[in-house]
Amino acid sequence: MNQTLLIIDAQQELIDGNKEVCAVYNKEELIENINIVIEKAKSGGITVVFVRDLDVAEGKGKGFQVHDQIHVPTGAMLFDKAATNAFHGTGLLQHLRAQEIEHLVMMGCATQHCIDSAVRTATIYGFDVTLVADGHSTTDSVVLHAEQIIKHHNATLHGHYNVEHFSVVRRTEEDLFNPTHDSYR
């Protein structure tokens, strides 16, 4: 089965925050877990794709780049997006289809925006998705604390489906590149 590790908006300023916005919840754990899963992908010959949001740091400078503590593999693909949805206006879908990808392992920021949108859209486009439960984060909203948002989305997106394709939520220490979707069909 062809698979890709998709890391969304794991950018310096989004993770660390700036003068107006605080850092994401559990940022050190997020970075550590992203690096662990990148190593798993590399050792399994799985491609890694990063998506960056052009709104972060106005699309320029160090703040726009993938966080400097994340170990970006040589040869990782990179797509920039102008919308919440990683598939909108980017070459991501075409790239994944050209590679005949069937399964996406997904991580990044921000849980209730870009992660939620990407998970749901991926199932519509015919991919099974494994969302890494401890591999995405956000900041507090005016209604909920970041931890509540993350827990809510992990519960909501586990088992989300579009008939043939769906998402499951698993933790970093699990065998993420050994998909369990078929056991639910």
For residue range 2-43, what is the model confidence (pLDDT) as tens digits?
999 999 999 999 999 998 899 999 999 999 999 999 999 999
Q: At 185, is the pLDDT very low, low, confident or very high (cuts 50, 70, 90)?
A: low
Mean residue pLDDT across the chain? 96
Residue-level pLDDT at 12: 98
Higher-confidence residue of 164 and 3: namely: 3
For residue range 67-95, what is the model confidence (pLDDT) as tens digits?
999 999 999 999 999 999 999 999 999 99
102: which strand partners?
none
Listing DSSP states for 51-116 in one string gives EEETTGGGG-HHHHSBPTTS-PPTT-EEEEESSSSTTTTSSHHHHHHHTT--EEEEEEE-IIIIIH
Judge whether residue 109 has pLDDT over 70.
yes
Name the pTM for this structure.
0.97
Arithmetic mean of pLDDT, 119-138: 97
Residue-level pLDDT at 87: 98
Could you give the percent of the chain with pLDDT greater than 70?
99
C-alpha pair distances (Å), 178 with each of 34, 54, 70, 132? 17, 32, 23, 13
Nearest alpha carbon to residue 167 among 47, 39, 176, 49: 176
> At 80, phi and psi to the nearest 5?
-110, 140
Arithmetic mean of pLDDT, 96-119: 98
Q: At 152, is the pLDDT very low, low, confident or very high (cuts 50, 70, 90)?
A: very high
* DSSP assignment letter at 181: G
Confirm if 118 and 86 have CB atoms less than 8 A apart: yes
Arithmetic mean of pLDDT, 139-149: 96
Could you give the percent of the chain with pLDDT greater than 90?
91
Spatial separation of the C-alpha atoms in residues 151 and 159, rounded to whole Å: 14
In b/e form, how buried is each residue of 114-131, taking b as 16+ CB within 10 angstroms? bbbbbbbbbbeeebbbbb
Residue-level pLDDT at 164: 86
Domains of the chain: 3-184 (3.40.50.850)
